[in-house]
Amino acid sequence: MDGINKKIKILYTIPNFNTAGSGKVLYDLAKGLDSERFEVSIACNDNNGAFFKEVKGLGLPIYLIYATVSLRPYSNLIYRVRPFKDFIKAHQFDIVHSWHWSSDWTEALAARLSGVKWVYTKKAMSWGNWHWKIRSFLADFIITINDEMRDYFPYKKNQKLIPLGIDTAFFSPELFPHIKDLRDIFKIITVANLVPVKGVEVLIKAIASLNDRSIKLMVLGDDKSDYGNSLKSLVKEFNLEEQVMFLGKKPDVRPYIADADLYVIPTLNEGRKEGMPMALVEAMSMGIPVLGADISGIKFVLKDFKNLLFEAGNETVLAKEIQNIKILSIQERLELGNKLRSYVINNFNYDVFIAEHEKLYESILI
C-alpha cells in the first residue's frame, strides 16, 4: 500500500437491497469501518428495495453498475467484463469485496484484470458446480460464515471464518417493553424470503396437528408469489385462517419479534439451505426462545443449544418442540431468551465482526 496515510479504498458489490438479510450486514459493515483508515463505496445493479434508502442514508458513494455479466459466449467474455474492469481502475479501488450469492466468476475476472484484490463472502451453502471452483480459485481471499463451509476449499489457504455480526443495541428487547403474561395466546413468528426451501408449510402443518386455538402464527415476508399462495391455500385447508396471519414484508421486524413468544426457522434440508440465517440471530438478540431445523447454518448458530434443533421437514417433531416451549412458564421463557441474547452478544459480536474485516483488508494489501 503506497503512502503511510493512504486510506484503503473498498468497493462492496451486491446485486440489490431487495432483501434486508445480507444487505443489512453489508450496511453495518460499511457503516462500521473506521473512516480514518478506510474509504467505502458500494456498487449494485439498481436502486430498488425499501432498504436501499437506508443504505443511501449512509452518505457513501453508491454506483448503479452491473459487476457481473453473462458467462456465454466465452469467446468475447474478456471484452464484456471490460466496463467493470475499467470502472474499478478509474476509481482506484484497492479491494473489491463481493456479496453476490451466486457462483458467477465474471466479477472476479474483471477485478483480476484490473490488478485489484478480490474477496468474496460465501453466503449460502450452494456448491458442486465447476463455476464455484473457478470463482474460488480467482479469489484472493474467501470469507466463510459457518464452520462447514471451510471444507469446500481444502486447498485454499487464503480463507477465514468470520461469522456475521449483529448490532445487539439495535436488536434489543429493551427498546420494546411490553407485558406478555397477561394474555392467553401463544404467538409464533417466522421471518423469511418466502421461497419453497424455507419450509414454512412444515410449520403450518405442525400448528395444525396441535389443534390448539391459542397458538397464533405471524409470517413475515413477501407472500405475493406462487409459494405464498400455496401456503395460504394450506392454511385454508387446515381451517387455520384465524390462527395464521401473513403480514407481508416489513422494513423493521423488531416490534413483531418482540411481541412473539417463539421464533421458528423451518428451512428444509435441500436447495441453497442456510449460510448463517440472520433472521434467526436477530430473534435470538431480541431475547425470545427459538427453534430451528437441524441443517447447515442453523445448527452453526445454535451449536450450543442443540435442544432447540429439530429434524428438518418433520412437522411431528416440530409440533412436540413447540409444545415444549409453550408449556414453559413466562419466567422460564424469559430466562431462555436471555441466554440466547447473551450468546449472540458473545459470539456474533458486531464490533468483532468489524474488527476482523479491518484486519483482513489490511493484511491482504501487505
pLDDT at 21 exceeding the cut of 80: no
Q: What is the pLDDT of residue 155?
A: 87
Is there a shared CATH topology between the 8-165+349-364 domain and the 173-347 domain?
yes
Characterize 114-127 residue by residue with b for buried, 16 or more Cβ atoms within 10 angstroms of its Cβ, and e for exposed: bebbbbbbbbbbeb
- The superfamily (CATH) of domain 173-347 is Glycogen Phosphorylase B; (3.40.50.2000)
| Domain chopping of the chain, boundaries | 8-165+349-364, 173-347
Q: What is the pLDDT of residue 38?
A: 98
Q: Which pLDDT band, with edges at 50, 70 and 90, does 87 fall under?
A: very high
Q: What is the pLDDT of residue 24?
A: 87
pLDDT at 169 exceeding the cut of 70: yes
Residue 18: how many CB atoms within 10 A of its CB?
18
Alpha helices, DSSP H only, in the chain? Answer: 20-32, 51-56, 77-80, 82-91, 106-114, 130-138, 200-210, 226-237, 254-258, 278-285, 298-301, 315-326, 330-347, 350-364
pLDDT at 3 exceeding the cut of 60: no
pLDDT at 20 exceeding the cut of 60: no
d(CA 255, CA 290): 16
Q: What is the pLDDT of residue 270?
A: 82
Residues 311-340 have a mean pLDDT of: 97
Percentage of the chain lying above the pLDDT 90 cut = 85
Summarize pLDDT for 259-292 with one digit per residue, the tens.
999 999 999 998 667 899 999 999 999 999 999 9
Nearest to 18 by CA among 165, 193, 145, 159: 193
- The superfamily (CATH) of domain 8-165+349-364 is Glycogen Phosphorylase B; (3.40.50.2000)
Q: Which pLDDT band, with edges at 50, 70 and 90, does 329 fall under?
A: very high
pLDDT at 180 exceeding the cut of 80: no
Lowest mean pLDDT among 26-40, 173-187, 264-278, 325-339: 173-187
Q: How far lies 341's CA from each of 98, 338, 357, in Å?
A: 29, 5, 23
For 266, list phi and psi in degrees, rounded to 5.
-100, 30
Please provide the average confidence, as pLDDT, over all residues in the chain: 94
Nearest to 37 by CA among 71, 1, 62: 1
Summarize pLDDT for 91-137 with one digit per residue, the tens.
999 999 999 989 999 999 999 999 999 999 999 888 888 999 999 99
Percentage of the chain lying above the pLDDT 70 cut = 96
Full-model pTM: 0.91
